[in-house]
Amino acid sequence: MTDDTTVRSLVVEPGAAPERLDRVLARGFADLSRARLQALARDGFVRCDDVEIRDPSRKVMGGSRIEVVVPAPAPAEPRGEALPLTVVHEDDDLIVIDKPAGLVVHPAAGHEDGTLVNRLIAHCGESLSGIGGVRRPGIVHRLDKDTSGLLVVAKNDLAHQGLSAQFADHGRSGALERAYLALVWGVPEPRAGTISASLARSRHNREKIAVVREGEGRHAVTHYRVEGLPGGDGLTALVRCRLETGRTHQIRVHLSHRGHPLLGDATYGAAFKTKAARLGEAPRAALTALGRQALHAAELGFLHPRTGERLRFASSLPEDFSRLLAALER
């Protein structure tokens, strides 16, 4: 065994009814995911009364002593890169980042280096105790490359499970809160409401998401409220969006579907390029300088996966977004 390998044990309550091994392990070692424990069993790292058990579904009896060898987390596949990060909060279980526009979250073709994951691996170092046995950050939600704002990342299995459950619930239970600020063309009517429209990959362009008939895609709900009318001319509006579901490009597609695409959104607002000609010189220059969709993840709230404490964070508008808003308001 290496120095970082640990041996953990538990004794099943005497007289307890026979129960699947993986269920007993999941209850006894809540900081490890059930999938991780099943994998350890299949790889020969679990013994029951000194007998190796490789079948996670095998029943174990009350009074049995179970021993689990937990190897040290494997090194992360992406390499760590000591590049800047804006850390809003960090503890032993998770880290909250204020992501700048232009930063890709996860390595992929064309973006193998310089991503948020590369930076987190370098920043967190040994505090990453492993997601599924690999020393890597647990990404439970993402922001588009050109969307700025708050994002929470898990450092270990316990945090990954707890945060993933909250994001899977999409805030229906009230635990998760996500709010975004967007600058859109025109003024949505009514000024506050809900957009409920299913989303799926476009059949014509796989890079885009499209609204589809109910039952054909993934259910998606966005609550919105007009926060302001910069310039007072009705040409643009500042809109606060609260997500009930978290689909790819959800806010951008929903608002475009309603006829109010985001300023600077080349993918879903291309038909509105001519509207920029109606802006004054300063707003046009600020919009060109923005060079992205005007969308910012401004608020994030969730329950801490270990302590149950409610955490809430807020992020101010980044400089490029603020300059555009100020120019529109003159």
Segment 135-149, tens digit of pLDDT? 778 889 989 999 999
pLDDT of residue 170 exceeding 70: no
| Highest mean pLDDT (candidates 154-158, 169-173, 214-218, 224-228) | 224-228
Among residues 22, 93, 144, 146, the one annotated as catalytic is 144
Residue 287, by phi and psi: left (phi above 0), alpha (psi -120 to 50) or beta? alpha
Query: By the 8 A CB rule, do 139 and 260 touch?
Result: no
pLDDT of residue 114 exceeding 70: yes
Range of the domain at 292: 174-329
Number of separate domains in the chain: 3
In this structure, of 69-83, 167-181, 281-295, the range with the lowest mean pLDDT score is: 69-83
Q: Clarify whether residues 185 and 105 are in a common domain.
A: no
Three-state DSSP class for residue 319: helix
Whether residue 56 lies inside any domain: the answer is yes
User: Is the whole-model pTM more than 0.75?
Assistant: yes
Q: Clarify whether residues 310 and 191 are in a common domain.
A: yes
Give me the long-range contacts of 136-141 (CB less than 8 A, separation at least 24).
136/76, 136/77, 136/78, 137/95, 138/163, 138/164, 139/105, 139/106, 140/164, 140/167, 141/167, 141/246
In this prediction, residue 171 carries a pLDDT of 62
Q: Clarify whether residues 224 and 281 are in a common domain.
A: yes
In this prediction, residue 2 carries a pLDDT of 47
Q: Clarify whether residues 235 and 183 are in a common domain.
A: yes
Of 147, 169, 191, which marks where a domain is finished? 169
CA distance 172 to 254: 19
Q: Clarify whether residues 226 and 318 are in a common domain.
A: yes
Q: Clarify whether residues 184 and 302 are in a common domain.
A: yes
Known catalytic residue at 144: yes
CA distance 200 to 246: 13
pLDDT of residue 76 exceeding 70: no
Distances (CA, A) of 219 to 63, 199, 211, 213: 46, 7, 10, 10
As given in the structure block, the two tokens for residue 283 are: 């707003």
pLDDT of residue 1 exceeding 50: no
Q: Is 94 exposed, middle or buried (0-12, 13-18, 19+ CB in 10 A)?
A: buried
In this prediction, residue 35 carries a pLDDT of 80
| Residue that wins the pLDDT comparison between 171 and 169 | 169
Q: Clarify whether residues 31 and 151 are in a common domain.
A: no
Whether residue 1 lies inside any domain: the answer is no
As given in the structure block, the two tokens for residue 252 are: 């951008």
Q: Clarify whether residues 129 and 114 are in a common domain.
A: yes
pLDDT of residue 317 exceeding 90: yes
pLDDT band at 278 (very low <50, low <70, confident <90, very high): confident
